[in-house]
Structure 1
Amino acid sequence: MTETAAGVSGRFTRPQRWLLPGDLLTEPADLAAAAPGAPGTGVRFPHPRPPRRTPRDWAVDVTLFGWSLGMWALMVIVALPTLEHTPEWIRAIDAPLGLLACCALWVRRRHPLAVALLVVPVGAVSASAFGALGVVMLSTALRLPTRRALALLAANIAVAIPYFIFCSLPEDNSGWGDIFFSVAYLLTFFAWGVATRARRQLVVRLRQDAGRERAEHARRMADARRAEREAIAREMHDVLAHRISLLSVHAGALAYRTSGAAGAHAKPLSDAEVGESAQVIRDNAHQALEELREVLTVLRGTAPGALTEAGGGRPQPRIAEIGELVAEATRAGQRVVLDQKYAEGAAEALRDQAQRTVYRVVQEGLTNARKHAPGALITVTLVGAAGQGLTVRIRNPLPVTAGAGREHIPGAGAGLAGLEERIALDGGSLLHGATNGAFELVAKLPWPAA
């Protein structure tokens, strides 16, 4: 049993979702709707509705909280007792403020700006908030617009330096290395946040591009399916309308002669004539089914050589078969004159699609004349040369009575529209209408020079 693409995708995607941050689990449409950051920075984090923490987010938050809490304990136990130059009231509030900064890390995802503003005054009087301060700088660079994040970084550095200068530096000024280390510490966490932000923005853009590509692919597939349906409709109309109209003519004549409507003077049909007419109808019905099978086989993409192997099918019609088409219409009772004004065999140089189009034009013209002007003389003229183009003209007189013949053979009324589309695809044009008491169907197709 085969697996669907969606099932395979889901099987490999679900485990990975546990390893992704919640910000990247938002759908591409939601990511595109997120508020933009500073110019050139792309999508801003967090999104309008911060997603729930994933297992990865919980692991990261617990790790960073543990880091901050460990640094807080280290500073309280080791560093605070050595700060002899720090006022007593500052040492009294140092540990509670540092612990408050550590606890505030749990809401930094939803309220990054508020937490960043909170640690500015805390960093001015608390050495034990050193670990939490680095995590806040990481979150600030990751989740706030660039300019705002830089301003908060500068503010934290600006308030931390006076604390070290006036409270923690010994008299011999040997603690400047601690100041440089602290500044480098904050800059390192800030750069870490900037790098993480850039990587996530790249992932977001790639997801958006992939979403657009999927939508474009779906649109192209829909257009291809629509074009295929239209092609099938044109081919079926061209093939079946001609063949079914012949069936209608034969069946109508047989019904007319056997119902007695022809009058007493009409000679009744013999059993042999009835059998012959039935055989003609049967042959045409079989031919209609065979041509329909050929159309569907070609439209499904079967190679031309496979048609004969699959069941004796014929290749698609060509200009050379127009004579047989006219002869078939003549046997059905139509009066048709075929006039081909070009060198014999010259049109065979046209590409196959153009030859099929010419055949369909003649077929549609004969079918329309059979429907709307029964018994009229039809003139089919093909004239052209290589480099000059090919003109196909089908002309028949208009019926004496308006609408005569329309009720005998119904049709969909879409033949000329489909024919016009087919000719347009071949780079030609189609004109049709009544002129000087006759209906003309004129198709002009390109005939490239040899």
Structure 2
Amino acid sequence: MTTHPTSALARRLLPGELTAGGTPRPERVRRSARDWAVDVLLFAWAVLCWAVLFEQVESKTYLPGWLVALDPPLGALACLSLWLRRRWPLGVALAAVPAAALTDTVVGALAVIIFNLALRIPPRAAALVLLLHLAATLPYVLFYGVPHEERWTVAVFVLIFYLLFFTWGSATRARRQLVLKLREDAVRAQADHERRLADVRRAERRAIAREMHDVLAHRVSLLSVHAGALAYRTRRTAAGEGAALDDSEIAESATVIRDNAHQALEELRDVLHVLREDEKEEAPCPGGRPGEPGGSGAVGTSDGARPQPDLTRLGELVDEARAAGQTVRFDQELPERVDGEGGWPLRPQLQRTAYRAVQEGLTNARKHAPGSPVQVRVAGTVGEELTVRVSNPLPGAREPRRGEAVIPGAGAGLTGLRERLEIEGGTLAYGPENGRFTLLARLPWPPPETGYEAGP
């Protein structure tokens, strides 16, 4: 939690209870500069009242002599006890009962003690102590305090005196508790905000990892296949086991490798462009999903970047796989496009997720079953669901041939694809099935009235 530049000044100008963290115990609260100033002023006020009333004590001839003798010392002790009222508010209030019942010079200190009682003691206990004070004081007022004709007036004044300072202290206590509650709420809200921000950042990192894996794994696997094939043919030629590569074949292979490397860099640039755009906007937009415009990190949707992959580009993806040497059978059963030329009536994010599912299936087949034919089928019905099925024969247990490209897997592709699908309300299933490895992704396809949004 960042400390405000004026916090040192605030600690001097606020009561100690408001500068201490949490709900402090009275004996652990250190006086602030304001507390010391208030204590000095209140002690001076109590002593001044004691001095003024001390001069009038001897003139009260209607009082018994023992009361006249006790009045000044009890009043003085009550004034001194004010220095202890912060640490022991209940003890000071109880100790002041005899002075309140038998003396007049205690009036100044008693006002502070009653106020402090209501301020620092829970209401029920404070009310009981107040009743004890009233029970001890009113008999003295009625029987000894003043001549008979003025006693009821003085009794009403004493009652108002107690209630006034007790009410004042209770109101101050309520205000301080409100301030402490607001502070706790602010600290809790800040902690919740930081936790939500951390969750958003973790979601961002997962989304970025998924996107970079989907973008780069496909391209790098194509590069590996072409480079491995070129290296294999070159070794065979050097060993005299095959015809030498002519210039056109070398140029064609180099062009394919260059184009795929360039494509990988372009797609990586798009992802990094989105990252830089997100860094300019620290606060995530509410209501969005990772990977969508308006969400917390629209990975794969950057203004001014290349058009993002959708169902219309599945043919290009399959052609790239075939150019890398894969045998791919591609079947597509989808409704007619909007106006014959536009996209399908399906959100771009769902189309992109389906594209990534096909891409991940082809990449996995290229990594783990090189040379095996791959079947890709994309089918969907508006108002029902969109399914993507990618399957290939299970590879036999064999060692790679000399010079054959072996593409390592990170094991994160299927996990990232599952997270993508779950975000969109879809499911992912994969594993051996009738001698083939099958990847099956299902995505909801909302009807046009609830989910229509033409693809790019």
Give the TM-score taking structure 1 as reference length: 0.89
Partner AA of 2:355 in structure 1: Y
Instruction: Give, in whole Å, the separation in 2 of the partners of 1:404 and 1:224.
Output: 43
Instruction: Give, in whole Å, the separation in 2 of the partners of 1:396 and 1:127.
Output: 102
1:139 equivalent to 2:131? Answer no
Partner AA of 1:25 in structure 2: T
Aligned 1:353-432 pairs, distance under 5 A: 353-401=349-397, 408-432=406-430
1:318 equivalent to 2:314? Answer no
Q: Which shifted more, 85-94 or 434-443?
A: 85-94
> How far does residue 306 in structure 1 lie from its aligned partner after superposition?
10
Indicate the SS of the match to 1:294: helix
1:50 equivalent to 2:28? Answer yes
- 2:61 is matched with 84
Instruction: Give, in whole Å, the separation in 2 of the partners of 1:215 and 1:49.
Output: 29
Instruction: Give, in whole Å, the separation in 2 of the partners of 1:388 and 1:308.
Output: 31
Partner AA of 2:60 in structure 1: L
Is the 1:392–1:443 contact (alpha carbons within 8 Å) kept by the matching residues of 2?
A: yes
Deviations 1:136-184 (A, max 9, x none): 11111111121211111111111112222232222x4224322221221
Instruction: Give, in whole Å, the separation in 2 of the partners of 1:104 and 1:295.
Output: 72
Q: Percent identity?
A: 52
> How far does residue 86 in structure 1 lie from its aligned partner after superposition?
1.4
Aligned 1:36-435 pairs, distance under 5 A: 47=25, 49-78=27-56, 80-170=57-147, 172-260=148-236, 263-301=239-277, 309=304, 313-345=305-337, 348-401=344-397, 408-435=406-433
Instruction: Give, in whole Å, the separation in 2 of the partners of 1:444 and 1:403.
Output: 35
Q: Which shifted more, 343-352 or 60-69?
A: 343-352
Cα gap change, 1:307/1:218 in structure 2, threshold over 3 Å: closer, same or farther? closer
> How far does residue 238 in structure 1 lie from its aligned partner after superposition?
0.5
Instruction: Give, in whole Å, the separation in 2 of the partners of 1:432 and 1:48.
Output: 64
Cα gap change, 1:434/1:387 in structure 2, threshold over 3 Å: closer, same or farther? same
> How far does residue 258 in structure 1 lie from its aligned partner after superposition?
1.6
Is the 1:362–1:380 contact (alpha carbons within 8 Å) kept by the matching residues of 2?
A: yes
Cα gap change, 1:355/1:282 in structure 2, threshold over 3 Å: closer, same or farther? same
Is the 1:329–1:336 contact (alpha carbons within 8 Å) kept by the matching residues of 2?
A: yes
Indicate the SS of the match to 2:223: helix
Instruction: Give, in whole Å, the separation in 1 of the partners of 2:319 and 2:171.
Output: 79
Please give the root-mean-square deviation of Cα atoms over the aligned residues, in Å: 2.3
Is the 1:24–1:200 contact (alpha carbons within 8 Å) kept by the matching residues of 2?
A: yes
Deviations 1:407-434 (A, max 9, x none): 8101111111110110111111111111
Partner AA of 1:340 in structure 2: Q
Cα gap change, 1:407/1:203 in structure 2, threshold over 3 Å: closer, same or farther? farther
Q: Which shifted more, 9-18 or 382-391?
A: 9-18
Structure 2: which 5+ runs fail to align?
279-292, 449-456
Cα gap change, 1:413/1:392 in structure 2, threshold over 3 Å: closer, same or farther? same
Instruction: Give, in whole Å, the separation in 1 of the partners of 2:238 and 2:161.
Output: 109
Instruction: Give, in whole Å, the separation in 1 of the partners of 2:97 and 2:201.
Output: 61
Instruction: Give, in whole Å, the separation in 1 of the partners of 2:243 and 2:337.
Output: 45
Partner AA of 1:51 in structure 2: V
Deviations 1:298-321 (A, max 9, x none): 355578999575xxx312111100
Deviations 1:329-348 (A, max 9, x none): 11111111111012342662
Give the TM-score taking structure 2 as reference length: 0.87
Partner AA of 1:159 in structure 2: A
Is the 1:232–1:296 contact (alpha carbons within 8 Å) kept by the matching residues of 2?
A: no
Instruction: Give, in whole Å, the separation in 1 of the partners of 2:127 and 2:14.
Output: 27
Cα gap change, 1:119/1:308 in structure 2, threshold over 3 Å: closer, same or farther? closer
Partner AA of 2:131 in structure 1: A
Is the 2:237–2:243 contact (alpha carbons within 8 Å) kept by the matching residues of 1?
A: no
Indicate the SS of the match to 1:431: strand
